[in-house]
Amino acid sequence: MKRTIRTTAFTVGALIATLGLPAGTAHADTDARVDLRVLVVSDGGPSTDAIAAELTAAGTPFTEIDLTQAGRQVIDAGFLADTVGGVPRAKFQAVVLPNDNPFADGSPEMAALAAYEQTYEIPQVDAYTYARPQAGLQVPTSGGYSGSIDGTQAAVTTAGRAGAFGYLDGAVPFEDNDPAVNESYAYLSQPAPGADFTPLVEATIPGTATKGSLVGEYRHDGRRELVVTFVYNQYQQQFRLLARGIVEWMTGGVHLGASRNYFAVHVDDVLAADDRWNSQLNCTPGDVDCTDPNATPDPIRMTPADVDHAVAWEQDKKFTFDFAYNAVGSVDQREENNGVDLLADRLIADRAKFRWVNHTYTHSFLGCVQDTAVVPWKCATNADGSTQWISRNEIADEIATNRVWGQFAGLPQETDELVTGEHSGMRVLPQQPVDNPNLAPALADTGIKWIGSDNSREPDQRAVGQATTVPRYPMNVFYNAGKAAEQVDEYNWIYTSRAQGGSGICEENPATTSCLAAPLDTATGYADKIVPLETRIALGHVLSNDPKPHFIHQSNLAEERIAYPVLDGVLGGYQALFADDTPVVNLRMKDIGTELKRRADWKSALNAGQVTAYRVGDKVTVSAPTGVQVTATLPTGTTQGSAAFGTAYAGAVSGWTPSTGTPLTFTVPATPQATTLAPTDTHATVTTPAPHTRVPAGVREQVPATADH
């Protein structure tokens, strides 16, 4: 069936009238004001949701219109543009649509958008659209392809690497996490005859040697569109790899907010020993819940050789561990071995190779007094029924004694950082729903400003008295395992049903835990199942502009050193994907806390409508409340006053700068060009609505997670 394509042409005079601008303003040499805000038009699909999530994480302001909602904002000339002080103003620097035209045939809203984009040179992102001539591509039936591309190795083209996707080395692998699930669907096609279309990301069309576009730039009628022809959600690696480039393309590299790829690894219990999982008892002797009378603790402790390996690994990876230490481990070792502790000697000798964090002296529980006569334990109570709490002095002594030992040993630590044993002192459900009331005063007594928390319990940063939490991701490499077989055995106990010999925990918590189809082989399960899964989860955090640290335990660097395959997978996988100018950012704990706090303050200011930002010519002006740190990503060579702005990352500069309540002004270099009103001989066209695009079942919901994440 032949489709009739209707087009609507506008002269610039008609455009000016449509947009409600005063006559005579359409001159190529007139700089318009373009507000640094993105318009996201959503149909509720996963692709527009993913772009919105990327903007949110970066702190880039956007306005979202949901086409599925009754009574929504109508997109018209007055909504898109006006004048401020006699200067034409574009209210949005970019437009994101669910496809190349999500509106009804002949829609005045699409006509208004097309006119607006042409007049102000505003780029449009088609988040997921069908390949068709109206989007600059041949239809898939003309030698192209439509279907699953799970496991496909796509690649950034030369044009893509020279432009917005230059932070990538080239490869864009598409996930195939479950052969039984169709995770990615795409339309692969070549440019339509005569179309001004440049592929930026391509993949080979199945059964051919021909490349088809997955992401490309289509220029037509004085407009530019980024045409994306594969579906994705915000968690999938392929989107995470391309998300930065999508934002940079749509904003021309000038936008509020910033995104970097962070990875930090805290190693807890250094100097101490961790008790080993017992495969016969299915518990950990020494743990409060392991009450079997035959339970005998079997400690796992690093050796000097493990320190040597850690140092060599850091040098090879250009990465630094954060060692959270418990000094009593060394004190006890020396008392029991005639003053000898070879591990502590080696760590102290190599102390400058690591960052050090106070993990308290004995790793004792600092919340309520635990009643371990019952399983699970409960908080002990006084005669009047009130909770018994570890005292303020006990908490302060744990912090101060460990700090003094570290200072005597010359450890390069920050005295305002702390991780308590088991993140204790802070609330832990179900036994202790509130913080130990003595914790905050003890933190103040000892000058603690940053305290580690468990992200699986408390993902949001919060205040604990004068201190602020730094949520940490637990890696599913267990503290009580020094060997792969031990890790797999405990993993099977947690993640298999009772019928298969497991604990049934996965059955009792279906909302957060999925049971394994069958127990893993203890000889191969770690390498075949756990390592790839944990690598994917951690790398997903790295690619999500998430600075929160991950934590493991010293036992995982001992014996079979089972943490390294996961860490190698994260850093090795990252290095294979990103260019040298986009390194992993490896921050220490207090710097992570500062980053998270700045983001929270920035987000609050954005949500309260207290931030305005716009560009006129080569000047970017930002206003924010006094004390709020302003964040932006701008082209290399941008200045703030007479000083260079930001630090280099991914081919641009970005950073934080404090607001004093008066507007901040940045001067960007000549490229990209300043936005001007369109010349009078161009016209905009409005095409027919985009055809329905297929979304695989499950792609919207797919989240890489386990019970511990």
CA 229 → CA 98, 216, 543, distances in Å? Answer: 11, 9, 22
pLDDT at 290 over 70: yes
Q: Which residue has the tokens 């005295």?
A: 415
- Nearest CA to 450 out of 358, 388, 363, 361 is that of 358
Mean residue pLDDT of the chain comes to 92
* Residues ≥6 apart with Cβ < 8 Å to 451: 418, 419, 420, 426, 443, 464, 467, 468, 469, 470
What's CA 316's distance to the chain center, in Å?
25
pLDDT tens digit sequence for 626-663 = 999 999 999 999 999 999 999 999 999 999 999 999 99
pLDDT at 705 over 60: no
Domains of the chain, by residue range, sit at 12-252, 363-448, 590-667
DSSP 622: E
Assign residue 465 a region: left if phi > 0, alpha if psi is -120 to 50, beta otherwise?
A: left
pLDDT band at residue 578 under the 50/70/90 scheme: very high
User: Cis bond leading into 704, ω under 30°?
Assistant: no
Q: Check residue 294 and give its pLDDT.
A: 83
CB 672 within 8 Å of CB 253: yes
pLDDT tens digit sequence for 451-504 = 999 999 999 999 999 999 999 999 999 999 999 999 999 999 999 999 999 999
Instruction: Report the range of poorest mean pLDDT among 42-51, 100-109, 467-476, 667-676.
Output: 667-676
pLDDT at 6 over 60: no
Q: How far apart are CA 86 and CA 288, in angstroms?
A: 72
Instruction: Report the range of poorest mean pLDDT among 4-8, 283-287, 414-418.
Output: 4-8
Q: Model-level pTM?
A: 0.93
Q: Check residue 460 and give its pLDDT.
A: 97
pLDDT band at residue 375 under the 50/70/90 scheme: confident
Instruction: Tell me which H or E stretch contains 218.
Output: strand 211-220
pLDDT band at residue 683 under the 50/70/90 scheme: low
CA 80 → CA 193, 254, 575, 659, distances in Å? Answer: 33, 19, 42, 28
Cα radius of gyration (the chain): 29
Q: Bigger pLDDT: 468 or 287?
A: 468
Provide the strand spans (E) within 442-587: 450-454, 463-464, 467-474, 550-553
Q: Check residue 654 and give its pLDDT.
A: 98
In single-letter form, the type of residue at position 229 comes to T
pLDDT at 15 over 50: no
DSSP 526: I
DSSP 422: G
- Tokens found for residue 580: 């040298």
Q: Which CATH architecture has domain 12-252?
A: 3-Layer(aba) Sandwich (3.40)
DSSP 128: S
Q: Which residue has the tokens 């260079």?
A: 644
Instruction: Report the range of poorest mean pLDDT among 14-23, 189-198, 698-707.
Output: 14-23
